[in-house]
Amino acid sequence: MLRKRLLYMLGLDPMPRKTPLRARVTGGFEREDYRVENIVFQSMPGLYVTGNLYLPKARTRPAPAVLYLCGHSPWPEGAKADYQRHGIWFARNGYVALLIDTIEFGELRGVHHGTHDLGLWYWHSLGYTPAGPEVWNAVRALDYLQSRPEVDPDRVAVTGISGGGAITWYAAAVDERFRAAAPVCATWTVEHQVTLETVDGNCDCIYFTNGLQSSFALVAALIAPRPLKIIGAVRDSMFPPAGYRRIYELARPFYEMFGAPEKLGFYEHDAPHADILPFRKEADEWINRWLKNDLTPFEEGEIRPEPPSRLRVLQTLPPDAVNAHIDKRFIRAAELREPATLEEWQGRRERLLSELRGKVFSAFPKSQAPWEAWKREKKGWPSRYATHYEVEFSTEPSVRVRAELFVPRGAPRARPALIYVRRAEDIVWSMAYDFLLPALDSHVVLILDPRAVDYPLSNYETATLKRTAALVGATIESMQVWDILRAVDYLTGHEKLELSGVSIYGRGEMGALGLYAAVLDERIGRVILDDPPATHWQGPALLNVLRITDLPEAAALVAPREIVSLTPLPAAYDYTASVYRLYGQAGHIRHAGGLYDALQVWKAVR
């Protein structure tokens, strides 16, 4: 169950099918005490992995093997060109060593920094991390090693630095055939990455998609009791000591439980994040100890790196390669199938609600915090239509949102409410109330600025905030859904307003978030859309949602309550309309020219 949890967060549940590797040797060379083969294989059809296989000479029986996973080192010939000293040392000391390129800095180039640099927020909606295909490449590299007659299949270790160190952790946790592991400069905790503000310095491949809100200690638990050595740099700004020391502390009980405390090692050196001799010594001695029972002190000896061109595997690039767009196909998005009957839909609906709560909105607070609210009456011209307040209220501890509240004058009675959820683009002028005027004397109106909307953020700050949110199991957009839900609670629970119904209005992506709020809270009887996106590939980003459903089906979960669009709905929402027809409520998904018609204000006026 724990391994399945990690696999899901890496995008490996379900695991891809193991297809033929189609491995081939494209060249090589010999040196006095080792030889090198340039190899390529396909970890799945079209996903090419290039690498160099270092083999010892004068070996008469199968040797132990090491898979070395490269860090982020850009070379046209692949990252492996920068780490060849590892392969040379292992081959000289009786190992078969395979160094493989990363997807980003390989001979065939893909994308690692999708959310870090490129704003590919659909990665969050897919639950995609480049760690997923990198781990899969490591698993298939192990398959390749075990297929070689020179290799003892029961003695294979994995090691690597930085991004390669992160994949070392995950690969060893996922595949028990790795008999020992030594990740270097790659150990972290959610707590310290967030509080020490180191998320911005790390590639997307470092992190699993944390929609299940797991600790990195889970990875260590899955490796125990196999030999594991945690190696860190004291001056590493990306993987600070507080993080790797904490993981070592958390890992120790697992090894003690198995009666194998000696199989957990720890080493730190006063150095920055770098591939340096002390780290190579610690990792290689560790592997030597557990794969060969050899305690010989490490001596690197003289190593003369080869020109990168000699390590190139492919002279021409294969036309069927998918490396450059593996992010769009590694995880299969949910396919929407129209239900044939209402009974079939209701079964599907219950499953969807369970998955949304458990995998998309799992970071919602488990309880509602006490209200911290503030309110001040405003006397500008809008107060001629209704009593007008500027308000603030907490949606969870230490999170306060701002809003404006309009309450119709007259004898107290149940009134309908409209919550207008604003985007940053909607906040231009402080008195932009024109389109709300038809509702002010008949509806309680709350203009809500959910978090991350009403304060300026640069692109850099926005990206860092979104990536940090994902690390704690949420997205900014899922947090905004929570703010909408708490806005309903604020009106009824804090303001004690008697409401005859609640409508949510949002433009663009905010309308889509309003749909999810309605899915999760049946007090919301109507969602008003204005130019909504057709799919989560466009936004809003919600962790894992595309693996479960997409916007047209999420909208169908609102049925038979009303959905009104102020613009023509994208064709994809024909799916939504088909579900409304199953309820016999085809008229409850409709078009309106403006809020007056959408709210049917004439029904609310005295």
What is residue 60's predicted lDDT score, i.e. its pLDDT?
A: 78
Tell me the average pLDDT across 208-233.
Answer: 97
What is residue 369's predicted lDDT score, i.e. its pLDDT?
A: 85
Contact 416/604 with Cβ under 8 angstroms?
yes
What is residue 604's predicted lDDT score, i.e. its pLDDT?
A: 79
Report CA torsion sign: 57, 59, 62, 66.
negative
SS (H, E, C) 432-473: CCHHHHHHCCCCEEEEEECCCCCCCCCHHHHHHHHHHHHHCC
Query: How far does Cα 340 stand from its chain's mean position?
Result: 34
What one-character-per-residue DSSP string does 279-322 give?
A: HHHHHHHHHHHHHH---PPP------PPPHHHH---SS--TT--
Contact 167/133 with Cβ under 8 angstroms?
no
Contact 62/150 with Cβ under 8 angstroms?
yes
Query: How far are the Cα atoms of 173, 268, 272, 280, 472 from residue 241, in angstroms, in the given order?
Result: 22, 8, 11, 19, 20
Tell me the average pLDDT across 213-229.
Answer: 97
% residues pLDDT > 90 (the chain): 94
The helix/strand/coil state of 410 is coil
pLDDT > 90? residue 177: yes
Reference 25, options 154, 151, 144; nearest CA is 144
pLDDT > 70? residue 605: no
Q: Which residue is listed with tokens 């909606």? A: 125
**Predicted model pTM:** 0.95
* Sheet with 63-69, edge to edge strand ranges: 24-30, 34-44, 47-56, 96-100, 63-69, 151-161, 180-184, 228-233, 264-269
Between helices 509-520 and 476-489, what is the axis angle to 10°? 60
Nearest-10 Cα torsion for 174, 177, 179, 185: -30
What Rg value do the Cα atoms of the chain yield, rounded? Answer: 28
pLDDT > 90? residue 606: no
Distance CA 216, CA 2 (A): 12
265-324 tens-digit pLDDT: 999 999 999 999 999 999 999 999 999 999 999 999 999 999 999 999 999 999 999 999
Tell me the average pLDDT across 116-138.
Answer: 97
Distance CA 211, CA 8 (A): 9
Distance CA 158, CA 200 (A): 27
Beta strands at 444-449 and 499-507: parallel, antiparallel or unpaired: unpaired
Distance CA 432, CA 426 (A): 9
Nearest-10 Cα torsion for 190, 237, 457, 504: -10
What one-character-per-residue DSSP string does 209-233 give?
A: --TT---THHHHHHHTTS-EEEEEE
Residue 542 neighbours by CB under 8 Å, 6+ apart: 124, 125, 360, 361, 475, 477, 478, 516, 536
Under CATH, domain 354-604 is a member of which superfamily? Answer: Alpha/Beta hydrolase fold, catalytic domain (3.40.50.1820)
What is residue 457's predicted lDDT score, i.e. its pLDDT?
A: 87
Tell me the average pLDDT across 12-36.
Answer: 97
Segment (H or E) for 529: strand 524-530
What one-character-per-residue DSSP string does 33-63 give?
A: SEEEEEEEEEEETTEEEEEEEEEESS--S-E
What is residue 456's predicted lDDT score, i.e. its pLDDT?
A: 83
User: What architecture does CATH give domain 2-320?
Assistant: 3-Layer(aba) Sandwich (3.40)
DSSP 8-state symbol, 490: I
**Range list for CATH 3.40.50.1820 in the chain:** 2-320, 354-604
Residue 187 neighbours by CB under 8 Å, 6+ apart: 165, 169, 216, 230, 232, 239, 243, 244, 247, 248
Contact 418/599 with Cβ under 8 angstroms?
yes
430-453 tens-digit pLDDT: 767 988 999 998 999 999 999 999
What is residue 411's predicted lDDT score, i.e. its pLDDT?
A: 62
Distance CA 589, CA 569 (A): 10
Distance CA 14, CA 332 (A): 10
Distance CA 19, CA 191 (A): 39
Distance CA 517, CA 325 (A): 33
403-431 tens-digit pLDDT: 999 999 986 789 999 999 999 999 877 76
Tell me the average pLDDT across 457-474.
Answer: 95
DSSP 3-state helix, strand, coil percentages of the chain (rounded to 5)? 40, 20, 40
Tell me the average pLDDT across 391-399.
Answer: 96
For the chain, first and last CA: distance in Å? 59
What one-character-per-residue DSSP string does 380-402 give?
A: SGGGGTSEEEEEEEEEETTEEEE
At 233, list the tokens. Answer: 């740099």
Q: How many CB atoms lie within 10 A of CB 603?
A: 8
